């Protein structure tokens, strides 16, 4: 249908307004009419939405109104606007619930408010990142931009930035709380590109739409519109809740025998899209009629045999981003269908990544307190450190590679400060340089300043400070770790409490210590960190929850097993692309190929390494790269693959791991590898214990716990000693510690290993990894494929359960073992595996129990081989079976 970028925007201009049906809950809504008179709330009659003035959310800018002639074309909430003739960056600060999912909409109607008829262009920031450039190209058109965003702080900043192309302004800001488990992405937020009520020629929003999404109509010649009104009460909804009025219309192809095609050309082929297709049958079909169709995406099968149900919403959506030069969805009638395909509504979102983390919350709180305590009049708005170009005046920050920026310099010299030195400064824990000189501060120099561990420069010159200088500060100054300047404080040390000598010393230090070495070295650190940040600027991250550079502030602080954290940290290397070429000898030897890239053999100082080059074409390669670097930088365990270094030069992204000589577990199980080792029962148990220990570390050793999400036998690698290590953390997720016990996410992972519960509910828990591990354990025991390649496509767990029911252990275990194992040991392993693959997650054991039980199973086998020898295998002890009764074929 060849949609253009401005589709949503232009259609919204002619949004036909909903007539009030009944007042609906607006509790998850924040509706701000910018520039409306302070303290005034009003209800827009057409929508029933209640708006509040923006006065509580911003202190700057001026309130203006659009030209009166335009009023009757627009809703009351955009009649006013706030314009920002002063200051480069002006910000709204809106309190929200951290971690909730919001639809955020910003509206801009210029309406020639200033009588100049000059259309401005300016930047819009969301938090620490640029969201987009607002380019007003028609004074009487309202531009509406939407994003689905999960804030990581208790507030969001929405800022207008003057880029020298006219005065920024904003008309309205609307936030709508969405269910957390809809519109899921792996990474990034979703910007609305199109939201179309197909077959309709008008638009809808609240209160037809409970989420107040804007739906625009679209009616093209190549489609035949259908319209069969549905009563809201009789429509069976799903979580996406497309309004009944939107679902009442649909389109089918104008030519009944031709496919229905929806296609568009992205502005940038690298853009990644999430598409939501909403269906319901709106016609009553006769007995001999069927409507069934397949959907192809760019010619490849996407979904099959869709048969929309009468008055019941079905939403089909992509679980990962779609990209390409052209995106083409074709709806093709199946052979048995008598009716052409239909679709009722479509939503297309573009992935927008916000790479720059917000400044560390503790620093933001502290600087905000300092600002209010001293009434600092500087233009301090929005995020203190980011974007870097708009750093607050008087601050300097560090920008760790993937962590939140931290404030390291506070310069409030000559800022008219008065009163005492405030303890809130202490909360700027990374502060290296504090300059409070040339103010009117009084009171004593507080002892607490010595608690700022990183403080290197303290300048208190030319104030009214009194009392003696705390000995702790004097000590630091003597040691040379602090450059202390306290001159021109007439009352300092003159109150009699301090002795003359110390004062002299203080002043001596004063002169002596304001020397450049300390400054230079501090500057050096900053420059170095900035350089690292620059190299890795594109190393994006989702939010500030997961961090890895500063161990002490990080929510993930794994208990390191044996090895020294700092040593390991320093071993992590950043390599250039030319280094990578050298290491791999120009990609000479391929050792593996996966979905996200190719793995090459390389050498660093004669030590073999595995170099995974992420293919730029892999949509998620980039995000998985980021996820993996983040995780492996912090996580170290003998049963987790370790990261030697990485390369991040533009499209050249490489991960360099320790080399695992013996490939992956599956190759050995299936005998695919040329030189496979036949694993004895003991070997198998050792590998199982290793893999379980790696998982146990992720779940119990890491805080917050980590879900691997892709445990499978190809992700268990073996080194030269056949020690097993878990690899491929590209899909891993960190479980938030805020009390919720699951992560709601799109389905990832590998068929056959995927927790059926997760498949149904989209709920991800530690028990999902336990399930996958159970499948691996079954593979280890049986050497059978996870899903048989025959017609029935039997899952390994179904196959095993049928044999367990018969008590037929001999048929379960890999026949090549020829009975060379301790029966009890095998039964124990089968029991564990069976419990792990229980469809009910509550019945699955926790990972620490699995490790203990597997070790016991190993001990039984060792007892046999060590003391009994192969012949004792017939002295079978009675076996206690307490197999889980839930161990039954899965519902699929």
Residues that bind ligand NAG (CB under 6 A): 13, 23, 26, 39, 41, 43, 50, 52, 56-57, 95, 138, 140-141, 255, 257-258, 286, 288, 294, 304-305, 332, 334-335, 338, 365, 369, 394, 396, 409, 411, 423-424, 426-427, 523, 526-527
Joined tokens for residue 471 = 């000995």
Produce one character per residue of 569-607: b if its CB has 16 or more CB atoms within 10 Å, e if not: eeebeebebebbeebbeeeeeebbeeebbebbbbebeee
C-beta of 318 vs 424, nearer to ligand NAG: 424
Beta strands in 496-550 (DSSP E): none
Phi then psi for residue 768, to 5 deg, are -65, -40
Tell me 97's DSSP state: -
In whole angstroms, give the CA distance from residue 365 to residue 371. 10
Asked if 691 contacts 855 with a C-beta cutoff of 8 angstroms, the reply is: no
Smallest separation (angstroms) from ligand NAG to the CB of 73: 8
C-beta of 332 vs 591, nearer to ligand NAG: 332
Tell me 79's DSSP state: T
Asked if 710 contacts 676 with a C-beta cutoff of 8 angstroms, the reply is: no
C-beta of 267 vs 393, nearer to ligand NAG: 393
Strands 129-135 and 121-126: antiparallel
- Match 């450039």 to its residue by tokens: 133
C-beta of 424 vs 802, nearer to ligand NAG: 424
In whole angstroms, give the CA distance from residue 149 to residue 542. 11
User: Among 784, 811, 809, 803, which Cα is nearest to 795's?
Assistant: 784
User: Among 627, 658, 621, which Cα is nearest to 643's?
Assistant: 658
Asked if 101 contacts 178 with a C-beta cutoff of 8 angstroms, the reply is: yes
Residue 606: C-alpha distances to residues 571, 584, 602, 603, 888 (Å): 16, 11, 9, 5, 51
User: Among 716, 542, 734, which Cα is nearest to 622's?
Assistant: 542
Smallest separation (angstroms) from ligand NAG to the CB of 330: 9
Smallest separation (angstroms) from ligand NAG to the CB of 335: 6
Strands 607-614 and 652-658: antiparallel
Joined tokens for residue 401 = 């590679």
Asked if 260 contacts 223 with a C-beta cutoff of 8 angstroms, the reply is: yes
C-beta of 294 vs 623, nearer to ligand NAG: 294
Asked if 438 contacts 461 with a C-beta cutoff of 8 angstroms, the reply is: yes
Beta strands in 97-201 (DSSP E): 101-108, 121-126, 129-135, 143-149, 155-165, 169-170, 172-178, 189-198
In whole angstroms, give the CA distance from residue 75 to residue 205. 13
C-beta of 38 vs 876, nearer to ligand NAG: 38
Tell me 19's DSSP state: P
DSSP letters of 616-649? Answer: TT-TTHHHHHHHHHHHHHH---TTB--EEEEEEE
Answer yes or no: 510 catalytic: no
C-beta of 48 vs 225, nearer to ligand NAG: 48
C-beta of 514 vs 568, nearer to ligand NAG: 514
In whole angstroms, give the CA distance from residue 745 to residue 763. 7
| Cβ contacts of 878 within 8 Å, gap of 6 or more | none
C-beta of 284 vs 286, nearer to ligand NAG: 286
Catalytic residue selected from 435, 710, 755, 822: 710
Smallest separation (angstroms) from ligand NAG to the CB of 583: 33
Residue 248: C-alpha distances to residues 4, 45, 227 (Å): 25, 25, 6
C-beta of 359 vs 664, nearer to ligand NAG: 359
Smallest separation (angstroms) from ligand NAG to the CB of 174: 12
C-beta of 366 vs 860, nearer to ligand NAG: 366
Smallest separation (angstroms) from ligand NAG to the CB of 210: 12
DSSP letters of 45-61? Answer: TTT--EEEEGGGT-SSS
Torsion 843-845-846-847 (CA) sign: negative
Does 630 appear as a known binding residue?
no
In whole angstroms, give the CA distance from residue 547 to residue 400. 10
Asked if 150 contacts 101 with a C-beta cutoff of 8 angstroms, the reply is: yes
Binding-site residue numbers are 612
Residues classed as catalytic = 710
Going by the annotation, the residues of the binding site for ATP are: 612
């Amino acid at each position: 249908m060849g949609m253009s970028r401005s589709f949503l925007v232009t259609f919204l201009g002619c949004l036909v307004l909903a007539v009030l049906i009944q007042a609906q809950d607006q509790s998850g809504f924040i509706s701000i009419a910018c520039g409306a008179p302070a303290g005034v709330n009003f209800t827009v009659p057409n929508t029933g939405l209640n708006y509040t003035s923006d006065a509580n959310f911003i202190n700057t800018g001026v309130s203006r109104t659009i030209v009166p002639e335009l009023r009757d074309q627009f809703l009351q909430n955009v009649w006013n606007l706030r314009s920002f003739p002063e200051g480069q960056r002006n910000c709204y600060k809106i309190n929200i619930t951290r971690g909730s999912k919001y639809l955020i909409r910003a509206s801009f109607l210029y309406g020639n408010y200033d009588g100049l008829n000059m259309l401005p262009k300016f930047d819009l920031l969301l938090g620490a990142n640029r969201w987009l450039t607002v380019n007003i190209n028609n004074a009487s058109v309202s531009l509406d931009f939407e994003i689905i965003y999960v804030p990581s702080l208790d507030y969001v900043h929405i800022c207008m930035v003057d880029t020298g192309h006219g005065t920024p302004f904003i008309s309205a800001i609307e936030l709508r709380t969405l269910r957390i488990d809809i519109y899921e992405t792996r990474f990034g937020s979703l910007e609305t590109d199109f939201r179309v009520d197909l077959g309709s020629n008008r638009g809808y929003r609240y209160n037809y739409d409970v989420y107040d999404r804007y739906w625009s109509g679209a009616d093209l010649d190549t489609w035949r519109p259908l319209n069969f009104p549905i009563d809201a009460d009789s429509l069976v909804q799903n979580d996406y809740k497309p309004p009944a009025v939107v679902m009442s219309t649909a389109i089918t192809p104008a030519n009944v025998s031709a496919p229905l095609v929806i296609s568009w050309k992205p502005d940038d082929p690298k853009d990644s899209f999430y598409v939501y297709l909403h269906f319901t049958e709106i016609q009553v079909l006769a007995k001999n009629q069927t409507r069934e169709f397949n959907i192809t995406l760019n010619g490849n099968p996407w979904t099959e045999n869709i048969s929309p149900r009468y008055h019941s919403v079905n939403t089909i959506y992509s679980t990962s981003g779609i990209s390409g030069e052209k995106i083409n969805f074709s709806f093709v009638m199946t052979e048995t269908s008598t009716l052409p395909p239909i679709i009722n509504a479509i939503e297309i979102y573009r992935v927008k990544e916000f790479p720059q983390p917000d400044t560390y919350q503790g620093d933001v709180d502290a600087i905000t307190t300092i600002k209010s305590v001293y009434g600092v009049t500087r233009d301090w708005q929005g995020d203190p450190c980011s974007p870097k170009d708009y750093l607050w005046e008087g601050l300097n920050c560090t920008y760790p590679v993937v962590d939140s920026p931290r404030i390291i310099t506070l310069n409030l010299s000559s800022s008219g400060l008065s009163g005492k030195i405030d303890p809130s400064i202490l909360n700027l824990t990374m502060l290296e340089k504090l300059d409070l000189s040339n103010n009117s501060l009084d009171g004593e120099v507080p002892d607490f300043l010595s608690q700022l561990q990183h403080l290197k420069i303290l300048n208190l010159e030319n104030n009214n400070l009194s009392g003696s200088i705390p000995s702790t500060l004097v000590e630091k100054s003597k040691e040379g770790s602090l450059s202390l300047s306290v001159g021109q404080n007439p009352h300092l040390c003159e109150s009699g409490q301090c002795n003359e000598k110390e004062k002299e010393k203080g002043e001596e230090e004063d002169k002596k210590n304001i020397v450049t070495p300390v400054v230079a070295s501090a500057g050096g650190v900053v420059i170095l960190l900035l350089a690292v940040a620059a190299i890795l600027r594109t190393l994006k991250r989702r939010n500030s929850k997961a961090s890895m550079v500063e161990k002490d502030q990080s929510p993930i602080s794994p208990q390191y097993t044996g090895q020294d954290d700092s040593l390991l940290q320093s071993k992590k290397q950043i390599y250039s692309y030319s280094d990578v070429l050298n290491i791999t000898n120009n990609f000479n030897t391929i050792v593996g190929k996966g979905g996200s890239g190719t793995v090459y053999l390389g050498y660093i100082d004669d030590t073999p390494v595995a170099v995974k080059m992420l293919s730029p074409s892999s949509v998620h390669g980039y995000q998985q790269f980021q996820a993996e670097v983040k995780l492996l930088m912090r996580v170290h365990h003998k049963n987790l693959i370790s990261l030697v270094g990485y390369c991040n030069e533009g499209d050249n992204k490489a991960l360099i791991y320790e080399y695992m000589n013996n490939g992956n577990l599956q190759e050995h199980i299936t005998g695919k590898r040329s030189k496979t080792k036949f694993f004895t029962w003991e070997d198998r148990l050792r590998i199982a214990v290793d893999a379980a220990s790696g998982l146990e570390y992720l779940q119990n050793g890491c805080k917050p716990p980590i879900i691997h999400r892709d445990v499978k036998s190809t992700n268990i690698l073996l080194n030269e000693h056949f020690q097993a290590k878990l690899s491929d953390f590209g899909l891993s997720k960190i479980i938030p510690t805020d009390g919720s016990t699951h992560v709601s996410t799109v389905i990832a992972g590998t068929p056959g290993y995927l927790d059926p519960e997760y498949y149904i509910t989209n709920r991800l828990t530690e028990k999902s990894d336990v399930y996958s591990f159970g499948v691996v354990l079954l593979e280890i025991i049986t050497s059978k494929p996870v899903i048989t390649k025959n017609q029935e496509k039997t899952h390994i767990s179904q196959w095993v359960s049928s044999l367990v029911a018969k008590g037929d252990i001999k048929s379960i275990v890999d026949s090549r073992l020829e009975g060379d194992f301790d029966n009890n040991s095998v039964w124990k392993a089968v029991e564990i595996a069976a419990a792990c693959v229980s469809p009910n997650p509550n019945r699955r054991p926790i990972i620490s129990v699995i490790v203990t039980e597997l070790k016991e199973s190993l001990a039984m086998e060792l007892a046999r081989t060590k003391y009994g020898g192969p012949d004792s295998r017939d002295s079978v002890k009675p076996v206690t079976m307490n197999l889980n009764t839930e161990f039954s074929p899965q519902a699929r």
